[in-house]
Amino acid sequence: RTDGSAEETGPVGAVPQRSPMHADAVTAVAALKPDLCVSGGKDKSVVVCNWRSGAVLRRFTGHEREITKVTCAPDSNRAFSASRDKTVIMWEFHGNSGPRQHFPGHDLVVTGLAVSPDASCLCTGSRDNTICKWDVETGERLGRAGISRNLVTHLCWVPGEPYIVQASEDKTIRMWDSRELQVAHMFPGKRHIQTCCDVSQDGRYCVSGSGGSNGEGCEATLWDLRQTRSRVREYRGHFQTVASCVFLPRGLAPAPVIATASSDCKVKIWDQDSGGRT
């Protein structure tokens, strides 16, 4: 818990043990509902499970290589998975277990997925330096844009806006206008690869994670998306690459908080406004 208190069911640090959901390493996880999550693994499968009970509700197979990203459409019963087989598949939780829609078209591994707020469009990014926009229902590719050396690492759709935030191995964070697939803004470059990103629910801020080692780099950065479109602050304290960063739901702590996970085997919770660890 962010306030440091113990769970009522046991001491601090007690972690319930569950049966494995995958036959190999888990490579991607996304929240579906408060008690449900979607995961993808090296075993090429996508699993919908109740994380409280550990029960597997659905298991989907259809990719030829390991899963790299999973995401869920807002307020729907659909999930999307990207794979090293260069494709994206849409799954529906009700009905048969086969793919509902395929989105082929990238030349290299797909490393970014983002669904529009109205769940009508999907944006994908790849190590082939391109991002693509797709019609969710028909699978039609609506647009494709490429930038040299723009190896996509993560994509996030800004809530209520036509903009997509993208992290890249070229050390930059870009904001794309999804209507024409054009770069609307590029934030000042960092010193290390930007590995991940997330957008706050109010659409005001973006947080990105940085590669690094031995404490060099390894920070998370808060960016203003609406007014100055500049760097707000940095969160430093990890000793290896920040592999994931998220805005936690409001109400978990008195002030807005951000969580970061790192290759140094630690998860840290940060006060968004002060930059201090909670």
The pair of structure tokens assigned to 224 is 């203003």
- Cβ distance 172 to 187 under 8 Å? yes
24-47: per-residue pLDDT in tens?
999 999 988 878 899 999 999 999
186-207: per-residue pLDDT in tens?
999 999 999 999 999 999 999 9
- Cβ distance 71 to 79 under 8 Å? yes
197-249: per-residue pLDDT in tens?
999 999 999 999 999 999 999 999 999 998 888 999 999 999 999 999 999 98
Q: Would the pLDDT of 16 be above 80?
A: no
- Cβ distance 262 to 242 under 8 Å? yes
- Mean pLDDT, to the nearest integer, of 161-190? 95
Beta carbons within 8 Å of 264's beta carbon, 6+ residues apart: 218, 238, 239, 240
- Mean pLDDT, to the nearest integer, of 164-178? 96
Single pTM value for the model: 0.88
pLDDT at 51: 83
Domains and CATH numbers, the chain: 23-146 (2.130.10.10)
The pair of structure tokens assigned to 176 is 């794309």
pLDDT at 115: 95
pLDDT at 8: 45
- Cβ distance 207 to 197 under 8 Å? yes
